[in-house]
Amino acid sequence: MTLEFRRAGHGDAARLALIASATFALACPDRARAGDVNHFVTTNLTEDRFVGYLADDNRILFLAEDDGVPIGYTMVILGEPTDADVAASITLRPTAELSKMYVFSGHHGRGVAAHLMSLSVEAAREAGASGIWLGVNNENVRANRFYEKSGFAVVGAKTFQLGAELESDFVRERAL
């Protein structure tokens, strides 16, 4: 097992989409309908979408690999949030969003997420952000525990549309 972490580049879109499509359901509540999860993935987490994300100068993506096999990724978005509930909740400016943070479940507890978090926080800091925020489903106990241990405090709430359901998310923020 050789773990490697690096900034994702233009040639990584397919690898990122693979991780995203396989891990997005981990962030959803158990009651989420499989069809809704699949629709979100096939609309928002495709290779084409990742090509666009990688081309956006306000997005920074990191990739974790185990012996060359992709196992996790993060995406930081620089700049002000577009969601009014988030904008009203966070207090640290300038800010960045930890938009995505996913690791295959077989690699949980091995330090992969912690290292991806460290890279993401440092990238936001280097880009000039004073704080970093994220949204996480309020029923996702594992993720909330990890984000709390990583220094993120609940500062508000927002909603996330998943199919016909309006999910409730905590807004968490930490200083850089």
- The answer, yes or no, to whether residue 105 has pLDDT greater than 80, is yes
User: Within 10 Å of residue 169's Cβ, how many Cβ atoms?
Assistant: 21
Note the pLDDT of residue 148. Answer: 98
Q: Which CATH superfamily is domain 3-175 in?
A: Gcn5-related N-acetyltransferase (GNAT) (3.40.630.30)
Note the pLDDT of residue 116. Answer: 98
Number of H helices, E strands in the chain: 6, 7
- The domain limits of the chain are 3-175
pLDDT in tens, 123-156: 999 999 999 999 999 999 999 999 999 999 999 9
- The answer, yes or no, to whether residue 59 has pLDDT greater than 90, is yes
Q: What is the average pLDDT value for the chain, to the nearest integer?
A: 94
Query: Tokens 């905590």 sit at which residue?
Result: 170
Query: Residue 36 to residues 15, 101, 161, 176: CA-CA distances in angstroms?
Result: 23, 20, 10, 35
pLDDT in tens, 12-31: 999 999 999 998 887 777 77
* Mean pLDDT score, 55-79: 98
Note the pLDDT of residue 86. Answer: 98
Could you give the CA distance from residue 50 to residue 19 in angstroms, rounded to a whole number? 11
Query: Residue 73 to residues 4, 116, 130, 163: CA-CA distances in angstroms?
Result: 11, 7, 22, 24
The widest CA-to-CA distance across the chain, in whole angstroms, is: 44
